[in-house]
Each structure stands twice: as structure tokens, then as C-alpha cells.
Homo-oligomer: A and B are copies of this chain.
């Protein structure tokens, strides 16, 4: 490719929905994904929800010939689920775990246990340094009353900050992943505004795939139809975003998505559709980042909006911190009262002794509540701190944006 003024890069992104024991026909689908990747020979493959390291190892064994380089990002109890396969040498990696990621007691929404993160791999192709990010943000379980919005916004903010701080020596930045946000949501506007990343779907010269680029569609046999009722076409929550940092330009020549069942197969690869982009990278004289300043006014608006949402989450977390703290204190008081009663009875002060079984059951109950409430209190204390920290960072950025002399 050396000497060719335009570098073509084919990128594949998919949330594989490979939860052991829970995801339907997982092993079969992982095999199908492996076969397709081997056949299609992309340059770069970004996968999410590969929760089982065994599945990763199976893919690695199968893809070793055409994607000799790969990385699996470990994190949390279950893992981050993130991995990357590459035709080109992976020079370095780094994982950043988001500081907030749902609640440990929301067992039915297992996000907390996954240690949601963003993974970075650095590759160099024909002398061009690519910082490639893969991530998966907290799921949205109920769009009408989205209790996780502040957490997802903190994640979007930390993702943007991580990309900004680690990509300064890169020529091209690529981000692929399941962002769990619709294109017009405040989180994705924040991410794009603060990093300058462009949306491959919006920029693509040619598009082929689901209408509006949707990646969660009713016609996929694994999606939950009731969740998609308000969106007859489906929703777009999986993205490939990119930008050139130094004297390069990136253009999206083509964007494709899968459309439910894989060709010639009776099942789709996943409950999500894959996103496939063909990018053209070309050296040019002028840096492309100049367009950012014109968008600064819009950025002030979106950071303000995000900060408001983070503030809402902060107040909710403060309320929960208070009520769990109060519960712990009450349980402690009950225990102390019981201890006093026992001491009183032992000293011969009281009248009849209590019925032993009920008394010890009550004590155990109080201990249980004390431990649980203390744990929750500590957890919500962390939550409050992280939301406060993010709000403060956003305030700092807003001040800097407003003070900066406009160059637009």
C-alpha cells in the first residue's frame, strides 16, 4: 500500500450477544461470525459482548490466518466483552473502565458486573497511526423513564475525555461499538461534539442495509419485539465514528449493515446488526480539525444539556445515599436496643425474658439490613462522587469554551 496516496480500510463492528447460557444459539452464531469474518477479510474487526474468553479463543484460532493480531480486554467480574481482530500489528493497548456503570443490586440488568470499559488499540498502516477504540455503554432498559441516563452520560463523557487525551499522537481516530444511544440523544451529541468524531452513517457516499441504518430491527428473530414497538423501523445504536487528527482526511466511501438473517442462513449473527464501513484515508495539507471551532456554540449547548442530566442523576443519588444511610442507622439502633434488652435481662432488671427464636431472628434481620444498607450507602457515596466529578469537569469545559475567543 506504500506509495498509494489513498489508503482503503474496511472496518467491521458487531455486538455479538454472546452471553453464556443465556444467548440463543450462541456457539452456532460465533461459528457463523468466524466463518464470515474469515471470508470477508476486513482490515479491522471490533466486537462487543464476547463475554466468554473461550469464544474469543475459538475465534482467534479460526481467524489466526487472516487476522494475525488480536486483543481481548479483561475487566470486571464477567469481563468487558470487548475484543479486536486486526490484519495489522497491534502496537499497544490500554483499557479504561468507566467509573459508573449501573447498580450491583440490579441483577436483572447485569451491566454492573461487566465492568463496562473502552479499549484502545494502536495500529500503524503505511506509516499512518490509527487509534482504534471499541466500547459498549450501559444499556437503556426503559426509554420513557431511563434511570441509567446519568450513568450513560458519565460514560459518554469519560469516553470522550479518554479519546481526547490518548489520541494526540494519532493520525486517525476510529471508534466502533454499541453506544446504546439513538443518533439524536444528548450523550452521542456530547461525544461527537467534544471529540469532533464524525458518524460514518451520516457521511457515507453509498449506503446499503437497514432503513435509517438501524442496528436493532424488528425483523431480526432475536430482538424483543415489544421493546421495539415505538420504533417500527428499529433503532440505530451501533456506530462507527472517525476523524483525522493530523494532516489526513478520512472519507466513508461505503457503509453497510446486515439485515437480519445472514445470507443463506436461517439465523442472524446476533440480535444486533453488524456495521461495516469502507474508509478512504488520504494525506492532505490542511488539518481537518479547523471545523471544530465552528461547532463550538453547539457544543456549549450540548455540554450544558448533559450537565443538567448529570445534575438530575446527582440529586437522585444523593437521595438514595441519604435513605440507605438512614436505614443503616435505624438497623444499628434496633441492634443496640436488643443488646440493651439482653443486658437488662442478664442484670435481672427486666421482667420476662423474650421468646428466644423471635429475638434471634430479629437480630439476624437487623444485622442483614445493617450490612445491606451500609453496602448500598457506600455504593451511592461512590456514585455521588463520580457524578459530582463529572459535573465539575463539564463546568470547567463550559467556562473554557465560553472564555475562548471565537475563531469561527
A residues bordering B, Cβ < 8 Å?
73-77, 79, 90-97, 99, 113, 115, 120, 161-162, 164-166, 168-169, 356-357, 360-361, 364, 378, 381-382, 385-386, 388-389, 393, 396, 400
Q: What are 28 A-to-B residue pairs whose CB atoms are below 8 Å? A: A73-B389, A74-B386, A74-B388, A74-B389, A75-B99, A75-B385, A75-B389, A76-B382, A76-B385, A77-B381, A77-B382, A91-B400, A92-B164, A92-B165, A93-B396, A94-B162, A94-B165, A95-B389, A96-B96, A97-B97, A97-B99, A113-B378, A165-B166, A166-B166, A168-B168, A357-B357, A357-B360, A364-B364
Chain B hits for A161, CB < 8 A: 94
Q: Which A-B residue pairs are the 5 nearest by beta carbons?
A: A168-B169, A74-B389, A74-B385, A165-B166, A168-B168
* Nearest CB of chain B from residue A311's CB, rounded to whole Å: 15
Report how far A73 CA is from B94 CA in the complex, Å. 21
Report how far A386 CA is from B386 CA in the complex, Å. 22
Chain B hits for A396, CB < 8 A: 90, 93
Q: Which residue of B lies closest to A397 (CB)?
A: B92
Q: Which residue of B lies closest to A378 (CB)?
A: B77
* Nearest CB of chain B from residue A77's CB, rounded to whole Å: 5
Report how far A161 CA is from B356 CA in the complex, Å. 59
Chain B hits for A113, CB < 8 A: 378
Report how far A90 CA is from B95 CA in the complex, Å. 25
Q: Are B77 and A393 in contact (CB under 8 A)?
A: no
Q: Which residue of B lies closest to A385 (CB)?
A: B74
Report how far A388 CA is from B74 CA in the complex, Å. 8
Chain B hits for A97, CB < 8 A: 97, 99
